[in-house]
Structure 1
Amino acid sequence: MKMFASGTALLALIAATPALAQEPSKEDLAELVRAQAAEIASLRQRVEKLEAGATPAPAMAAAPQAPAAPAPEPAPPEPAPQVVVTQPYAPQLVPPGPAERDVERVRAAAVSASGVSTEWGAGLPVFHSADGMFSFKPRGRIITDVSTSTGSKYSGRNLTTTGMRALRMGLEGTVGTHFFYQFESDFSENEVDVVTAFMGWRNRIAPGMDYDVRVGHLFNDRSFEGSTGSDSTPFTERSVVATAIIPQRAFYGLGIMPRLFWKTGHASLTVTGDRIDGDQSTSDNRTVLARAHWNPLKSDRQVLHLGVWGFDEMLHPGKNTLTRNTVIGGRFNGALRLSTGTLIGGTGTTGYGVELGGYSGPLWIMGEAGERHARLDNGRPDFVTRAWSVSGGWFLTGDLPPYNPRLGSFGQPKVLRPVFEGGPGAIELTARYENLEFDDIVTPAQGWAATLGVNWYLNSFTRFQLNAIHWNTQNTAGAYTGKDDGQTLTARVGVTF
């Protein structure tokens, strides 16, 4: 009722306001103030009579009441008074600022009537059922590159191109404590391709030791950079160890992969057929691949990494082409490759490699080497591929390298001071030297590349990359034979959800 009294007083004041717009004299103003005071006093008396006969209403917790303002005194005729309009108290409807919000209330409001809660991860929401039985998260990856090459003696190699390194959408989720799944499809380079697509089961064997088993279309666990996702590589392209010492089916295969994890490392075994395809008229090739890594030194700011891996692949007739065109100076220059020329008649491949590296504070280094033997029919000698690389990086902003000790590969960095929170982000300088040779074939080839780069991570899932590459190739097959060298400048912007 007090609020009603204040409201009626306000209405009376508003009703009288038009008179003020006519520029009244001093005598008129004095008379107006006396009339307003009398009207307010009369209204207040009526309200007090109503309150005396009414049941008091409970006070509103959200809007504390202010005591009624006393009626203004009549103004004397001389001198003319200054007209001051005093607004009666009204509750404020402005929402509280972030510092005033009740954190527990916000968390409780995240649970809807259907029993689903949400939280925001790396750019996309994660959905959880109220009982924790189900979780679901969309996944995405957008990586755009631009590349320009100069200095080649062949004008066909001096190209400027653009491309989508990845344009990926997918999902992942869990059912209960043990079952999980993931699916991703890639739309880059004007093609639709199913990449990761699997179901899995995980459990704990003992304190500090657990396992998982995944079944479906699986990404290789092979070499350090070969096991690192395209959204997490410190350079715009993986090293030649990852791209050349590889099964003929490349990075993916349909099969099963059990993995074992302990406090200082992991081991995996993969058995797969071909990539997902629509051809069931012939048998799949078969690939068995294994990898293990160990961290004999592991602390908050220091890690020593040791790794070994190997694979064996059986090739069926009709699926035995061994032709290689391997990236040496940039992915988006199709003329810049190390090539074998047409090579068919393979019966299988065997490859193996080693990894040695680690980090101390913001500085990291990694060395890899591998060799691949491709077996040929009709008694021909093996086609041999040899590759090695040494790379390193230094975070000028003091951030730690994004090393994942569980998988022995790089992941998304944990940026200490993201740009979106007013910080500089994470700035990393990188360098790499890599060497590749194709031997024991009629058309051998060799090449090397040296790369200097800088990465700017705005936050943990947004990055800019710039690589300056000096490359050298010597092909004996294809359109660009003989010795050749030049420079490639590649830039990238990438977002991972």
Structure 2
Amino acid sequence: MKFVPVGCALFALVAATPALAQAPSDDDLAALVRAQAAEIASLKARLDKLEAREAPAAAPVLAAAAPSSPPAAPASPGGRLPRAVAVTTPYAPQIVPPGPAERDIGRAQEANTAGVTTEWGAGLPVFHSADGNFTFKPRGRILADVSSTFGSRYDDRNLTITGMRALRMGVEGGVGTHFFYQFETDFSENEVDIVTAFIGWRDRIAPGLDYDVRAGHLFNDRAFEGSTGSDSTPFLERGTVSTAIIPQRGFYGIGIMPRLFWKTGHASLTVTGDRVDGNQTTSDSRTVLARAHWNPVKTDRGVLHLGLWGFDEHLSDAATTLTRNTVIGGRFNGALRVSSGTLTGGTGTTGYGAELGGYVGPLWIMAEAGQRHARLDNDRPDFVSKAWSVSGGWFVTGDLPPYNPRLGSFGQPTVLSPIFDGGPGAIELTARYESLDYTDILTGGQGWAATIGANWYLNSFTRIQLNAIHWNTDNRAGAFVGSDNGQTVSTRIGVTF
């Protein structure tokens, strides 16, 4: 095959002999040379293509060594390659591998041939396989806070502090229409902490009636703000009902949570042990928690929300300390707490609460109240904690509150005019009053806080928050005994992917 261009050239010269015998002009000779050169170049290009196609069969070692070739895809359980990856190599083997731009184009063409699609949602891509069977999405959360406290009669409480409320990375995805999973790790406060980590199954029982079951490290479904993620709360910190009327193990536990959803509400039941830890020398505590919410009124511009929840916790022999030090004026001032004083000998806790609120257009309001009974050994009476709060907000820009009617909590807002599209974003003004009472025991304190705030949502996943808090504490134990009050100003920049 390598002699084809030469043969063609000789044939062309023979064919041109009669013309030469007639003594052609210089112009005729120049035109003939140009035509022959063009034909030879065309034939050589065709020959190069044929040689490139035949190279894998003739040189298998070279083909295996080509760095641009993707690895073989694993077989599916049925022995067939998954549809999304059963593609031929887009490059012919080469001694010199393609440059970065060529590789990127080739891989994009391969993904396009496989039918893999990508959509951009809240800042990060969501990947879908061609047959729709597989989905995958990275997750992230960055919440950076600055807090300054002043006015306290104790100098050690007047602090200015910076902190990362959340610094999370994770993934979520699904297989088919039923199986799903999620995993997140938090790196705030310079520590690695496993937060949400579960697998789940979802299905439909009947039209308008769905369920899912999740198993793993689960976030509590408890109270309105307690069920709202830290990246979605309208204030920098959850209210006292969510932070004080809580199982001793905290917001997370390893276990199972079935949930039922209908058109106007949902219900959940959770059974868990302790949160993720490295202690395998004693039995875990056991917690059973249930919550339900109902929207008796639900329109495109308004919702009425009713909610009830409760939990019962049996403490293990290694978790008998019930001491509480609860935030009242912001998360990052460790000296600003309402304290129960040292309390040991706990055997279990039982808590319950109620929620009432909703929204009409850009206005929302929510009231919550709850109690927790901590059971003590040696026939001592229960330690009873009480908390309540009333909060509300107004979207000046006319956006709707980010209420999630499926879960009965707040989520990420849908901003009508993001600043990245030339709009003002969404601007929300907020206010809250909250109260906490630990005075059921002699060493227990009490406190309250009034907060006004402003939230500026640049788009649906980026926000700037400002809270001004006037607080009051009256502790009976600890370093800051007696009545005290002051102010805390806090701000946050948050991004949720």
Q: TM-score range by the shorter chain?
A: 0.7 to 0.9
- Cα distance between partner residues in 1 of 2:333 and 2:113: 54
TM-score (norm 1): 0.78
Cα root mean square deviation, aligned: 1.9
Q: Residue type matched to 1:390 in 2?
A: V
Q: Residue type matched to 2:421 in 1?
A: E
Q: CA deviation at 1:109?
A: 7.1
**1:77 equivalent in structure 2:** none
Q: CA deviation at 1:110?
A: 9.8
**SS of residue paired to 1:274:** coil
- Map 1:318-333; keep pairs closer than 5 Å: 318-333=318-333
TM-score (norm 2): 0.78
1:235-267 CA-partner distances (Å, limit 9, x unpaired): 000000000000000100000000000000000
Q: Residue type matched to 1:130 in 2?
A: A
**2:256 equivalent in structure 1:** 256
What are the ranges of 5 or more consecutive residues in structure 1 without an aligned counterpart? 1-41, 58-107
**SS of residue paired to 1:241:** helix
**SS of residue paired to 2:112:** coil
**1:294 equivalent in structure 2:** 294
**2:378 equivalent in structure 1:** 378
- Cα distance between partner residues in 2 of 1:217 and 1:364: 32
- Map 1:416-435; keep pairs closer than 5 Å: 416-435=416-435
**1:218 equivalent in structure 2:** 218
**2:303 equivalent in structure 1:** 303
1:352-388 CA-partner distances (Å, limit 9, x unpaired): 0000000000000000000000000011111110000
**2:209 equivalent in structure 1:** 209
State the number of aligned residues. 401
CA contact (8 A) 1:110 1:117 kept: no
CA contact (8 A) 1:111 1:130 kept: no
**1:456 equivalent in structure 2:** 456
- Cα distance between partner residues in 2 of 1:430 and 1:442: 35
- Cα distance between partner residues in 2 of 1:272 and 1:290: 12
Point out the structure with max Rg over C-alpha: 1
**1:153 equivalent in structure 2:** 153
The alpha-carbon distance between structure 1 residues 418 and 191, as it changes in their structure 2 partners (threshold 3 A), is: same
- Cα distance between partner residues in 1 of 2:198 and 2:110: 30
Q: Does residue 496 in structure 1 map to residue 492 in structure 2?
A: no
Q: Does residue 283 in structure 1 map to residue 272 in structure 2?
A: no
**1:389 equivalent in structure 2:** 389
- Cα distance between partner residues in 1 of 2:371 and 2:147: 29
Q: Does residue 444 in structure 1 map to residue 444 in structure 2?
A: yes
**SS of residue paired to 1:474:** strand
**SS of residue paired to 1:112:** helix
1:422-452 CA-partner distances (Å, limit 9, x unpaired): 0000000000000000032120211000000
1:196-225 CA-partner distances (Å, limit 9, x unpaired): 000000000000110000000000000000
**1:62 equivalent in structure 2:** none
Q: CA deviation at 1:174?
A: 0.2
- Cα distance between partner residues in 1 of 2:166 and 2:109: 36
Q: Residue type matched to 1:231 in 2?
A: D
Q: Does residue 185 in structure 1 map to residue 185 in structure 2?
A: yes
**1:360 equivalent in structure 2:** 360
- Cα distance between partner residues in 1 of 2:489 and 2:147: 6
- Cα distance between partner residues in 2 of 1:126 and 1:147: 35
What are the ranges of 5 or more consecutive residues in structure 2 without an aligned counterpart? 1-26, 43-107
Farther-moved stretch of structure 1 (433-442 vs 209-218): 433-442
Q: Residue type matched to 1:320 in 2?
A: T
